Amino acid sequence: CMIAPVVEQNARGRHVYLPEDMLLVRFRSGDDYTVQTMQKGHHWLDVPMNEVPLFIRRGHVIPLCRSAEYVDALDTTKLSLVGWLEVGCAITLYEDDGRTNDYRKGAYLKTKIAVKAGVKTVVTFTNEGSYETAVESMYLDMIHREKSPFYVQVDGKELPHFLHRRKFEEAESGWYYSQRLKSVQIKYPNPKKNHEVLVSFEQFDLIGM
């Protein structure tokens, strides 16, 4: 990803250069920025005063954890993944204890996270290594601008659907579709093994239900 803060006083935008495979999209909402293309790769970007533009490479998922002032204070018990469900992609997340050389003895964990986009979008988690992850809960924030899912499953087990944000936040697991952010928000306890998340965007018949 690339951050492009506005650094000039009272400026209402800035010039940016973006590689062709960078996606001009707001990090949190998925809305397009207003841009004026000057020449290949060069753009003028209109930016609100209270916002720092963040661009994400097309077909990519970003892992996040709660920020801290120093590394040992990072909260690694909750893993958040932010990305786009319309585009397939794959990344590898690496974990070890961060202090010793035990990773040389195999005490590490590589988790391949792959998104297969489609009517039934599948996110797979495949682990390699002997390190015991500290992640206890998973949180997926996946932008899908077209519509809300029909259902969400983790390893074939359907997660509860919440229509109210507060009830979703209080629950241990479930999913919620934010109309404002146009994103599917999914959370569940980390199985700590290979698993998959299925997000269905199939058409369904309300009369048949």
CA 153 – CA 133 distance, rounded (Å):
22
How many CB atoms sit inside 10 A of residue 107's CB? 16
Give tens-digit pLDDT for 198-208: 999 987 655 44
Residue 19: helix, strand or coil by DSSP?
coil
How many CB atoms sit inside 10 A of residue 196's CB? 15
Token readout for 80 is: 């958040």
Question: Mean pLDDT score of the chain, rounded to an integer?
Answer: 81
| Residue of 18, 7, 10, 3 lying closest to 53 (CA atoms) | 3
| 36, burial (CB in 10 Å: exposed 0-12, middle 13-18, buried 19+) | exposed
Give tens-digit pLDDT for 124-178: 999 999 999 989 999 998 877 778 899 999 999 999 999 999 999 999 999 999 8
